[in-house]
Chain A
């Protein structure tokens, strides 16, 4: 059924349709509307049987989910940014224990400096923990991916992170098609754990594994995630058959057929990129888009195939490997058959800085002209940073960068966008 709702509300509805049994969450911007909506549904009796637990921290949230999932209940939580880091130990633990927990990450920057706006540093900080990581392009995909996530998680016995851009998607009202309970029930059968805490059949879960077996355990975890690459497309196909639309899968391609230049990105910025690419195509530029939906496991073959004919690749990412460059671009370069020099990292949108068509036109044109640096920070205030660096060359300071900037300009003006 078509509805015009906030992204968070759509996700909450989708999660509720998946019949979660234990929901535990700690509030953090910009995830709050999701868990509030689910809490209301549970309290009003619309979502049952379900226990909704207000926990005292994100670490507790993931821990409660671990206990619930290990005991055979379908468990869900949501977080962002600092919260994801605070639960990091438990995030690794859930993956290592093979628990099919589903978690929404409402992507937000990580401090310091504290910043509540969108970028991908939170999810990507956990890219190696063993969770499956999916990125939604719009709110329709966000709600669809949650439904697929529960299915993926329980089939593979692996936790799944569904990432959606904080504020940009969570707080945006747009049209979505909400499925029926029957459709979801057809796609997602009840949770049948492979191993469960049950007095009738006692098992010990979480033993200490020493050097004699740890390598094998980790190898099998790696293989299991790689195997997911074979299975996920078929589950996306099944989703299409039942729900009537394409959603999820490993990647989305756009205008790739004869593209010399390919722009790679994750999440909502793909929308703005596609509008820009349409405009450039009208000017005859052979440019296309590769959207990565499944970031972990990394879809090596799909990326390699998509970039096979590309003469140059521009990875537009809302993430930064401090001291090195791009994160996504690094993953892309590993799958690009051509020279790594032809993969350009464009770091953009950190901390919620708006990414505009105007800026994209400029940087895509640079890529086409072959004048892009290996790493570019989009829309950087070069004058400002040069002043700060010049001052520091004369008099070295330690301490927080943001505060040091203020010594020069005194105040940061409010801007629209």
Chain B
């Protein structure tokens, strides 16, 4: 089972991100479970959503306490909420930011994880460019597909097209693809830095 935890704030499409991820996994013939951890509707409040992916039916209902991957949609949550709680040693991290891990004050903390599993991506900027709105969730999913390899970009984009009307879907898929390309490039850089 692969467990993804997504952090953000109300109004940023965190819950939708988890749902889209589950639909992408479903389209690849896998079982997936996505659910939120919030209650009443409120913009701006910290929000967590979960997505489990497995080849067998998923019976477990507890929140994801030991995630295999973290997607952080809003870096202002860093140092405010314990976003990294339970992250597994091999865990993947994808943070929506234009800054580096050093600039975010995370380099020491992240040193205990695997460098080639940790990336940042300017998802909000990509969203503004392709969608015209600061909704980073689609872009982050594209980036996640690249980082984790657990879903394909095609499946993510298909899930996006299922959920949104055509023009919005196209724009979001473009953002996802751009983020996918961005992260893929970063992954190559990390690998060659290690090699070189």
Contacts and interface: CB of A to CB of B under 8 A. Distances in A.
Interface stretch (A59-67, A231-239, A320-328, A354-362): A354-362
Interface in B38-69: 39-40, 46, 48, 57-63, 65
B60 A4 contact: no
A171 interface: yes
A278 to B, nearest CB: 9
A357 B36 CA distance: 19
A416 B63 contact: yes
Contact of A168 (B35, B46, B48): B35
Interface in A279-304: none
A167 B36 contact: yes
Contacts of A175: 26, 31-32, 57
Interface stretch (A99-107, A192-200, A264-272): A264-272
B58 A174 contact: yes
A40 B125 CA distance: 35
B63 A417 contact: yes
Interface residues of B, number: 28
A172 B65 contact: no
A168 B32 contact: no
Interface stretch (B15-23, B112-120, B133-141, B183-191): B15-23
Interface string B70-105: 000000000001100100000000000000000000
Nearest to B46: A414
Interface in A339-393: 354-358
A116 B61 contact: no
Interface in B1-44: 18-19, 22-23, 26-27, 31-37, 39-40
A272 B65 CA distance: 14
A274 B59 contact: yes
Contacts of A4: 22-23, 26-27, 32
A29 B59 contact: no
B61 A269 contact: yes
Q: Which of A2, A167, A175, A414 has the most CB of B within 10 A?
A: A175
A29 B33 CA distance: 21
A417 B18 contact: no
Given A29-B39, A416-B37, A272 B62 contact: yes
Nearest to B23: A4
Contacts of B19: 6, 173
Interface string A68-91: 000000000000000000000000
Interface string A137-157: 010000000000000000000
B48 A357 contact: no
A305 to B, nearest CB: 24
A52 interface: no
Greatest chain B CB density within 10 A among A116, A167, A269, A417 is at A417
A269 B35 CA distance: 15
Contacts of B58: 174, 271
Interface string A243-284: 000000000000000000000000011111011000000000
Contact of B40 (A116, A271, A354): A116
A29 B36 CA distance: 14
Contacts of A2: 26
Nearest to A116: B39
A131 B4 CA distance: 40
A272 B59 contact: yes
B39 A173 contact: no
Q: Which of A167, A271, A357, A416 has the most CB of B within 10 A?
A: A416
B63 A272 contact: no
A191 interface: no
A117 interface: yes
Contacts of A270: 59
Given A356-B65, A416-B37, A275 B26 contact: no
B61 A29 contact: no
Contacts of B36: 167, 171
Contact of B63 (A138, A173, A275, A354): A354
Contacts of B26: 2, 4, 175
B37 A271 contact: no
A168 B62 CA distance: 9
Contacts of B57: 175
Nearest to A357: B62
B57 to A, nearest CB: 8
Contacts of A29: 39-40
Contacts of A354: 62-63
A356 B62 contact: yes
Nearest to B80: A414
Which 4 A-B residue pairings sit nearest by Cβ, starting from the closest?
A417-B63, A271-B59, A4-B26, A172-B35
17 contacts: A116-B40, A138-B59, A168-B61, A171-B35, A172-B35, A173-B23, A173-B35, A175-B26, A175-B32, A268-B61, A269-B61, A271-B59, A275-B59, A275-B60, A356-B63, A414-B81, A417-B37
